Amino acid sequence: MEEQQVKTGKFALNYGVLLGVISVVFGVMLYTQKMHYETSTAVIVISIVIMAAITFFAVNAFKKANGGFLKISDALKVAVGLALVGTIISLLYQYVLTHFIEPDFMDKAMEIAKPKAMANNPNMTEEQWQQGVEMQKGFAWIQYPVVLIMNSVIGLILGLITGLILKKSQPEY
């Protein structure tokens, strides 16, 4: 009797949902602390560490379910899949936050950024600033596909690293 091949999609979906839920909880935590406007290095590093840990657990769980064997291609599929699912959930939260929970999110974010922008460019007039703000508001939708692509690339890198660490080939006989 032939062994049933383990599917990467199941692991990508399950661990992707876990990543998405943890990302939303992290986002809510930032929101309650009024830190959701800043994109500090610490927040980015923590997000990547969370993604790396979940990627490792997902790929390792796939390896155990696959009889202890792992191909790098399977690690990449699991990692990119979970990154996509987790990012979609996180972006849905971000959309709800910026359009329903806090509709003036963009205005507040621009007000926080204004002093730094004015200091970096002292020749900028108030009219030029407002024009730039309106332009950014018009292109705010572009963040969603950009974040999706960036997180997919990060998932690819994390999957490659995890796959190289956990790789174990099946014997040929």
Give the model confidence (pLDDT) of 52-91 as tens digits. Answer: 999 999 999 999 999 999 999 999 999 999 999 999 999 9
* Residue 139 DSSP code: T
Which has the closest alpha carbon to 162: 47, 88, 48, 54?
A: 54
pTM across the whole model: 0.90
Confidence category of residue 140, pLDDT binned at 50, 70, 90: confident
pLDDT tens sequence across 87-126: 999 999 999 999 999 999 888 888 888 888 888 888 888 8
94-126 per-residue burial string, b: 16 or more CB within 10 A, e: under 16: beebbeeebeebeeebbeeeeeeeeeeeeeeee
